[in-house]
């Protein structure tokens, strides 16, 4: 049976360190880290995520600001708010909760956020830095960054000699994950729905990252014995055993069968999910240290 990688425990350690760093910055420089989250509309899932981010930010000692805008908010008004936040010295990180309503251009909104406050890591400047290996000054998207920390707990930071396969090529997970694994000296392949003989390719992976968005797609016989499996997927499927109309969360990996073969594996939930919010806190504290002219702590 595989080692279960406890993302919730690792995330708690990370946020404890963030809180300590926030205390130090406030004591020594008089700066309280500030995170602003903007949500447009009434999407229930987005509201849950925003509330969780706010709770964690406050627990870390941050100034936590939430701007909730009605669904019909125009793009110009949203861009005006972002401009105000860019200019606000009390705000070090800005996050616009996605998805946005259809009448708003998400790309334009993301690129309007100042790169030094782009704690989601989606601005082209941060994407370009990551793609060219300038990771020390880039903000890395939170889910890939958290996934790398979980890999570190099993394999360490130097992945020389390891073959990594990423299933999924999104801008949010797959592509930044490629750059992070490559920077850690792994040999990396990015696969997707059109990859020929995907199961055979997955069986070559010492590190398998599943980020394809299909529930339980990756089966146990796709896993190389002893591999480290990082399941980024969060999918809701029917759970009739819980009662009529009930659902449960599963990943992109068939956990039960994969755990029989893998050396280590993240569960869903309590795997990568908690790390995403923890790394948002890391990016915000790093932004606050930089704004105060101080060297940020390592995480």
Q: Answer positive or negative: Cα dihedral of 132, 135, 140, 146.
A: positive
Residues with a catalytic annotation lie at 53, 97, 120
Assigned token pair, 266: 């993240």
CATH, domain range 142-274: 3.40.50.720
Domain ranges of the chain: 29-114, 142-274
Report pLDDT for 193. Answer: 81
Q: What is the pLDDT along the chain (299 residues), one digit of tens a residue?
A: 899 999 999 999 999 999 999 999 999 999 999 999 999 998 888 888 889 999 999 999 999 999 999 999 999 999 999 999 999 999 999 999 999 999 999 999 999 999 999 999 999 999 999 999 898 899 999 999 999 999 999 999 999 999 999 999 999 999 999 999 999 999 999 999 899 999 999 999 999 999 999 999 999 999 999 999 999 999 998 888 888 888 899 999 999 999 999 999 999 999 999 999 999 999 999 999 999 999 999 99
Report pLDDT for 44. Answer: 84
| Fold match, 29-114 / 142-274 | yes
Assigned token pair, 161: 């000699």
What is the pTM assigned to this prediction? 0.95
Q: For residues 72 and 52, what is the distance between their CA atoms, to the nearest angstrom?
A: 24
Q: Which residues contact 135 (CB under 8 A, 6 or more apart)?
A: 129, 180, 183
Q: For residues 201 and 59, what is the distance between their CA atoms, to the nearest angstrom?
A: 42
Which architecture, in CATH terms, is 29-114? 3-Layer(aba) Sandwich (3.40)
Do the beta carbons of residue 174 and residue 211 sit within 8 Å? yes
Q: For residues 7 and 226, what is the distance between their CA atoms, to the nearest angstrom?
A: 19
Per residue, what are the HEC states of the chain?
A: CCEECCHHHHHHHHHHHHHHHHHHHHHHHCCCCEEEEEEECCCHHHHHHHHHHHHHHHHCCCEEEEEEECCCCCHHHHHHHHHHHHHCCCCCEEEECCCCCCCCCHHHHHHHCCHHHECCCCCHHHHHHHHCCCCCCCCCCHHHHHHHHHHHHHHCCCCCCCEEEEECCCCCCHHHHHHHHHHCCCEEEEECCCCCCHHHHHCCCCEEEECCCCCCCECHHHCCCCCEEEECCCEEEECHHHCCCCEEEECCECHHHHCCCCCEECCCCCCHHHHHHHHHHHHHHHHHHHHCCCCCCCC
């Amino acid at each position: 049976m595989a080692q279960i990688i406890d993302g919730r425990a690792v995330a708690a350690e990370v946020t404890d360190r963030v809180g300590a760093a926030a205390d130090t910055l406030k004591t020594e420089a008089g700066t309280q880290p500030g995170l602003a989250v903007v949500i447009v509309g009434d999407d229930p899932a987005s509201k849950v995520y925003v509330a969780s981010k706010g709770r964690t930010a406050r627990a870390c000692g941050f100034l936590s600001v939430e701007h909730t805008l009605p669904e019909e908010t125009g793009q110009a008004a949203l861009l005006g708010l972002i401009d105000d936040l860019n200019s606000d010295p009390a705000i070090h990180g800005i996050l616009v909760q996605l998805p946005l309503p259809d009448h708003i251009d998400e790309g334009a909104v993301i690129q309007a956020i100042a790169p030094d406050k782009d704690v989601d890591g989606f601005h082209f400047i941060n994407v370009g830095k990551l793609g060219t290996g300038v990771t020390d000054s880039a903000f890395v998207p939170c889910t890939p960054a958290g996934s790398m920390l979980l890999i570190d707990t099993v394999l360490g930071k130097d992945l020389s000699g390891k073959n990594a396969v990423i299933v999924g090529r999104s801008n949010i997970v797959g592509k930044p994950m490629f750059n992070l694994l490559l920077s850690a000296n792994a040999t990396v392949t990015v696969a997707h729905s059109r990859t020929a003989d995907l199961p055979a390719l997955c069986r070559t992976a010492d590190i398998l990252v599943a980020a394809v968005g299909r529930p339980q797609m990756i089966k146990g016989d796709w896993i190389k014995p002893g591999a480290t499996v990082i399941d980024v997927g969060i999918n809701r499927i029917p759970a009739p055993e819980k009662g009529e109309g009930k659902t449960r969360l599963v990943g992109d990996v068939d956990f039960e069968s994969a755990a029989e073969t893998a050396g280590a594996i993240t569960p869903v939930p309590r795997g990568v999910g908690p790390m995403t919010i923890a790394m948002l806190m890391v990016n915000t504290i790093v932004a606050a240290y930089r704004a105060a002219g101080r060297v940020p702590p390592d995480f």
